[in-house]
């Protein structure tokens, strides 16, 4: 299977699966799981990192335990969709630590954000003090998630 301008074989896919399941695996454990020598496994991992397919390694923090049990999905419409206006909004929204994801969208709104909050009062603070003051914002439409049904961190590798 070709991904961009490089090919992934069965072993590359196995390495990616194992590292997405447990990025703390030692090279020794990883090489045993994918049936490679340690040196060959390390070469492959470094190659996947060099290609940019592996962008980094993180610990996944339980957002509820960290004090942010609620997710709010926010649709934002800007007054103008000129390139400079989009760039100004995007630069400003990256400075809000509670905004976990931001997507430029097609359709009715320009952006979709996932914002993590403590509760409705916390969201009101973020909405009033930050979201409505972002550059070019015309409309903000918010929806609280009632419950998370699926939350994946592993990207399927074909």
Q: Bridge-partner residues for 113, per DSSP?
A: 74, 102
Conformation bin of residue 35: beta by default, left when phi > 0, alpha when psi is -120 to 50: left
Average pLDDT estimate for 29-40: 98
113: tokens are 């954000």
Is 4 a residue whose pLDDT tops 80? Answer: no
pLDDT attached to residue 5: 61
Kindly indicate whether the domain formed by 2-51 is annotated with CATH number 1.10.10.10.
yes
Q: Where in the chain is the domain with CATH 1.10.10.10?
A: 2-51
State the residue for tokens 């994801």: 101
Dihedral angle sign, alpha carbons of residues 119, 122, 124, 126:
negative
| Confidence label for 158 from pLDDT (cuts 50, 70 and 90) | confident
pLDDT for res 7 = 85
pTM of the entire predicted model: 0.88
Q: What is the mean pLDDT of the chain?
A: 95
Alpha-helix residue ranges (DSSP H) falling in 6-144: 10-21, 27-34, 38-51, 83-93, 120-129
Residue ranges matching CATH 3.30.70.920 in the chain: 70-144
45 pLDDT higher than 90: yes
User: 70-144 has which CATH code?
Assistant: 3.30.70.920
């Amino acid at each position: 299977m070709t991904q961009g301008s490089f090919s992934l074989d069965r072993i590359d896919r196995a390495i990616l699966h194992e590292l997405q399941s447990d990025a703390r695996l030692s090279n020794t454990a990883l090489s045993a799981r994918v049936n490679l020598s340690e040196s060959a496994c390390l070469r492959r991992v470094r190659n996947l990192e060099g290609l940019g397919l592996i962008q980094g390694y993180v610990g996944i923090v339980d957002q509820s335990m960290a004090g942010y049990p609620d997710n709010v999905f926010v649709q934002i419409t800007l007054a103008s969709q000129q390139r400079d206006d989009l760039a100004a909004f995007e630069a400003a929204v990256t400075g809000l630590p509670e905004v976990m994801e931001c997507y430029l969208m097609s359709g009715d709104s320009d952006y979709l954000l996932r914002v993590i909050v403590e509760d409705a009062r916390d969201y009101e603070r973020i909405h009033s003090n930050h979201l409505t003051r972002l550059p070019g914002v015309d409309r903000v439409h918010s929806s609280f998630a009632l419950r998370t049904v699926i939350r994946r961190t592993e990207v399927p590798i074909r």
